[in-house]
Amino acid sequence: MKVNAGFWIGYTLLSIVVSGCNRYQVIPDHLMKQVNEKLSYEQVKDSPETYRGQVVVWGGEVLSAIRDAKSTTVEVLEIPLTKDHFPLNSPASSRGRFLAIDSSGEIIDPAIFKEGSRITVIGEILDSRTEPLDKATYDFPVVAIRDMTMWEDRTRANYPFAGSYSYYGYGYYGYRAPSIFRGARVTESES
């Protein structure tokens, strides 16, 4: 009987440890084969029409989000991604800006995007759009959002009992932005 109880205690502890090691999957399975991870931001910025229709994974820092009658536009300061598709911590490594457009109506309220928050966008390259930026104009690569991950900063203040172990609960946590009324993830519209 003691062996049996020991087995179940060990099994339970192992299950807890293994489940805690799961990594968040930024690229959903249904988009995995469509994504061209070798296509760089610079390549698209230089020649967006050449890559129209290709799907990329870009990320960065939200600069603004605006909703009009037809879509929500998120302006993003592009920042290179880690191998886990998380934007690096250095905005100085940015190679420019891009616009991520949601025309499907999944993003009901742009207030979900805090200025300075981190996102990773899986988007289909549409074109380039020239818009005013400060006292000049800027050519923004434009992508249609197919999927998106919002990254939440988990700071030490949120985990006061973690002690000096910096690996416990710190860093960023990824989640898919909910559609306000449906509770669904932000994905391409199913039509």
Q: How many helices (H) and strands (E) does the chain have?
A: 3, 6
Supply the pLDDT for residue 105: 83
Supply the pLDDT for residue 128: 95
Supply the pLDDT for residue 15: 60
Supply the pLDDT for residue 24: 72
DSSP, residue by residue, 103-138: -SS----GGGS-TT-EEEEEEEEEEEEEEEETTEEE
| CATH class of the domain at 29-176 | mainly beta
Supply the pLDDT for residue 156: 45
What is the tens place of the pLDDT at every residue in 102-125? 988 888 788 888 899 999 999 999
**pTM (predicted TM-score):** 0.73
User: CA 111, CA 172: separation in Å to the nearest integer?
Assistant: 20
- Listed as ranges, residues in the chain with pLDDT below 70 are 1-3, 5, 8, 10-23, 154-191
User: CA 132, CA 55: separation in Å to the nearest integer?
Assistant: 26
CA distances from 168 to 24, 79, 156, 161, 171 (A): 16, 25, 9, 10, 9
